[in-house]
Amino acid sequence: MAMEDVKQLVRELLEEVKSLEAKLDEVVKPLEETSSTIPMASGSLEDVIKFTEQSVHQIMGIINDLMKELEKVQEDVDFLLSLNPVSSIRSRLESIKERSKKLSELLLQVITLMSFQDLASQQIKRVIEVLDNIKKTILKIVLSSIEASSLSIEQKEKIVGKATEMLTGDRIFQEDVDKLLEELGL
């Protein structure tokens, strides 16, 4: 093989390395962005679920208290009506009874509408699952790139072991992903 052939081969090899570096940059940047964005999104969604659940429970408690008070008003009105009051007072008491009944119906409608929280929580939990699956997919990509890398066998085994440990868990925590990416130099 002539010296020119060797030089040409080295040039081609350098071009391949540059091309590979460019492809790695294309993967690393979205990976870095995703690895920081997904956990924040998951955490924010979990916070939304907790906040809405707490708020709905508080609102439901208040509504239950209102319903009890309306029942007492109904009882008082019924008692006063049983005393056979004069017609003008009877008319007012019957009006109060009707408004009280209407308020009870409206509160029941509010309780029914509050069921949105449960449905919203279910949908948010599905989104969190999707985000976790995306994180797992990213880790699998990282694993396959580790296996193709020039790291020592010991380094590969260590990183693959940690990544596999993360993949087999129910949840993947950002700190674990960050450590793994740091060990990869990403």
Rounded to an integer, the average pLDDT of 2-24 is 64
Q: Which two tokens stand for residue 139?
A: 């880790």
pLDDT for the residue 155 = 74
Condensed to tens digits (0 to 9), the pLDDT of residues 29-82 reads: 555 555 556 556 666 777 777 888 888 889 889 999 999 999 999 999 999 999
Q: CA-CA distance, 96 to 86, in Å (whole number)?
A: 15
Rounded to an integer, the average pLDDT of 140-160 is 72
Q: Which two tokens stand for residue 182?
A: 């740091």
Q: CA-CA distance, 30 to 119, in Å (whole number)?
A: 32
Percent of the chain with pLDDT over 90: 25
Taking the domains of the chain in order of start, what are their residue ranges? 3-183
pLDDT for the residue 73 = 95
pLDDT for the residue 82 = 95
| Better-predicted residue by pLDDT, 64 or 177 | 64
| Confidence band of 115 (pLDDT split at 50, 70, 90) | confident
